[in-house]
Structure 1
């Protein structure tokens, strides 16, 4: 029985609690922590948990015998909590984004290695049936080489979203929609497609003048073979349609699932290729439905990795790659230049201090509230 502690009782915490409660034969939540202990107490009451409540994570780590820590706090705190937890001999599941800067990611990965403990980064959208099926289709290479990838990470958030005290600042949130919303789709993109060799990007803030950070970004990735990818990150898109489209030489596939295959007429115009389209659809449909999706799916993966001593699907190295791609987008947009990957320690955005010193402020944060009374959130990822 794995003993679990959750640090951070904010909006994403219930997703972790509900996930762990689905595996009561494998784990038990024994501790909750938040700098506002009344929030942790309410979480304990809402879910009828037999758990101790702390308001300092250091006290929890020092006093509780736990096997696994879930970190659900603001991004700028992730590295310190994760490293202290790993050094204390705990496994760690940390919410996205992994950290505020690549330097912190490297320190977290090093801590996991030296303590021989699991560090997993939340990427719950990987753990959905449509994404797993699409991943399998791409691995068959039936559609030929990938020529173009389109990532639409479309979200919508009202002006008041950035009133929360830690949101909308480079210091506390680490970035805007590219880091904190599109991280899901950028993670899936690099998992399925791999890392491009260069990034060219622009960012803007069109609807949230209470935030320093961007509310929309558009990036173009280029691969060594010349293929391209376009990544749009936004919190200004009504309807929140989210999709990933892969255009191969022979066919296109996407999530939400859509397939189109073409062959050339004598004059170069397209003819349908129904046989290939059917083969791709059958390949997609042949993959089983996941029993547990989203946070529960990833939590099950982490618990099984601990119990069976096997790798997790999303480790610290994978989490770092996602942040590296996002960092390249910020660096490119900030300096209005193409950025080559992989990034090195010489990047002005490698450290948190470098980001704070160099990142463009679209506006200055003028409103700050401690908490919202309504804690209901949406996490996207339906892909229907």
Structure 2
């Protein structure tokens, strides 16, 4: 029976708690920590948990019985909390984004390696049936080499969203929609299609003059073979219609699922390739559904890795790659240049201090609300 501690009991914590409670024979939540302990006590009561409550995470880490820590706090705290937990001999599941800078990621990876503990970064959308199936269809190579990818990470958030005390600043949130919303789609994109070798991007703040950070960015990734990827990150799109489209030389596939295959007439104009389309569709339909979806799926993966001494699907290295793409978007958009990947330690955006100094600051944060009375959040669709 693995013992679980959770640091941070805000909006995302219930997703972790519900997931852990789905496996009562494998794990038990024994400790909660929040700088506002009354929040932790309230959520413990809500879930009928008999747990200890802490207002200092370092005190919680002194417990030798805790095996795994979930970190559900603002991004600027992720690195220190993860490193402290790993050093204390705990496995760590840290919410997205992994950290506020690549330098912090490298320190987290070193702590995991030095202490021989698992470090996994939340990317729960990988654990959804449409995404697992799409990944396997791409791996089949039936659509041919990918020539273009379209990533639409469309969200909508009202003006007051950035009034929460830690949101809307480069210091505490680490960025805007590219980092904290599109991180899901950017993770899926790099998992399915690999890392491009250069990024060119622009960003703006079109509707939230109470935030330093961007509320929309548009980036182009280029691969060595000449293929391109366009990534739009937004919290100004009504309807929150989100999609990933992969165009191969032979066919296109996407989430939400759609397949279309074309072949060439003698004059070069298209005609439907019904045979290939049907073959790809059959492959998709024959693939099994995932047993556990979302956070539950990822926590099942982490528990299984601890139990069987194996690697998790989403490692710290994978988490860093996602942040590397986002950092390249910020560097390109802020400095007005194309950025080559991979980013090295000499990048002006490698450290949190470098980001604070170089990133475009759109507006000053005008309001700082301690907590919203409504704590329920939406997490978009399955795509």
Name the TM-score class by shorter chain: over 0.9
Q: Can you list the C-alpha shifts for 1:208-228, whole angstroms capped at 9, x where unaligned?
A: 000000000000000000000
1:177-216 correspondence runs (5 A): 177-216=177-216
Within 1, Cα distance between the matches of 2:382 and 2:90?
Answer: 32
Query: SS in structure 1 opposite 2:192?
Result: helix
Following superposition, the deviation at residue 382 of structure 1 comes to: 2.0
Q: Which string of whole-angstrom CA distances, capped at 9 and with x for unpartnered residues, describes residues 339-371 of structure 1?
A: 000001111110001111111110000111000
1:63 is paired with a residue of what secondary structure?
coil
Q: Where do residues 217-296 of structure 1 align in structure 2 (5 Å cutoff)?
A: 217-296=217-296
Distance between the aligned counterparts of 1:172 and 1:348, measured in 2? 19
Aligned to 1:126: 126
Alignment deviations for residues 307-326 of structure 1 (CA, whole Å, 9 cap, x no partner): 01110000100000000000
Cα distance in 1 for residues equivalent to 2:110 and 2:287: 36
- Residue in structure 2 matched with residue 170 of structure 1 by the alignment: 170
By how many angstroms is 1:381 displaced? 3.6
Shift of 1:63: 3.4
Could you tell me how far 1:18 is from its partner in structure 2? 0.2
CA distance in 2, matches of 1:65, 1:373: 34
Aligned partners of 1:5 and 1:30 also within 8 Å: yes
Distance 2:327 2:243 in 1: 22
Do 1:125 and 1:381's aligned partners in 2 also have CA atoms closer than 8 Å? no
Structure-1-length-normalised TM-score:
0.99
Q: Kindly report which structure 2 residues correspond to 1:5-20, keeping only aligned pairs within 5 A, or say none.
A: 5-20=5-20
Paired with 1:283 and 1:136, the residues of 2 have a C-alpha distance of 9
Query: Does 1:34 find its partner at 2:34?
Result: yes
Alignment partner, residue 323 of structure 2: 323
Which residue of structure 2 lines up, in the alignment, with residue 156 of structure 1?
A: 156
Q: Return structure 1 stretches of 4+ with deviation > 2 angstroms.
A: none
Residue 354 in structure 1 maps to residue 354 in structure 2: yes
Contact 1:203/1:217 (<8 A) preserved: yes
Deviates more, 1:265-274 or 1:223-232: 265-274
Distance across 1 between alignment mates of 2:43 and 2:316: 28
Distance 1:19 1:31 in 2: 15
CA distance in 2, matches of 1:374, 1:64: 35
* Stretch of structure 1 that moved more, 56-65 or 282-291: 56-65
Normalised by the length of structure 2, the TM-score is 0.99
For the aligned residue pairs, the C-alpha RMSD in angstroms reads 0.6
CA distance in 2: counterparts of 1:28 and 1:110, whole angstroms: 28
Distance in structure 1 (CA, Å) of the matches to 2:167 and 2:275: 50
Specify every segment of 5 or more residues in structure 1 that has no aligned partner in the other structure, as ranges. Answer: none
Per the alignment, residue 82 of structure 2 pairs with 82
Moved more, 353-362 or 254-263: 353-362
Q: Secondary structure at the match of 2:220?
A: strand
Partner SS for 1:175:
coil
CA offset digits 1:73-107 (Å, max 9, x no partner): 00000000000000000000000000000000000
Q: Residues of 1 paired with 2:183 and 2:381: CA distance? A: 12
For 2:25, the equivalent position in structure 1 comes to 25
Given that 1:31 and 1:64 are in contact with CA atoms closer than 8 Å, whether structure 2 keeps it comes out as: no
Residue 365 (structure 2) pairs with residue 365 (structure 1) = yes
Shift of 1:62: 1.2
Aligned counterpart, 2:114 = 114
How many residue pairs align between the two structures? 383
Note the C-alpha offset of 1:64: 5.5
How far apart are the structure 2 equivalents of 1:168 and 1:334? 16
Other structure's SS at 2:203 match: strand
The 5-angstrom pairing of residues 134-145 of structure 1 reads: 134-145=134-145
Distance 1:291 1:317 in 2: 25
Asked if residue 95 in structure 1 is aligned to residue 98 in structure 2, the reply is no
Unpaired segments ≥5 residues, structure 2:
none
Distance across 2 between alignment mates of 1:6 and 1:226: 44
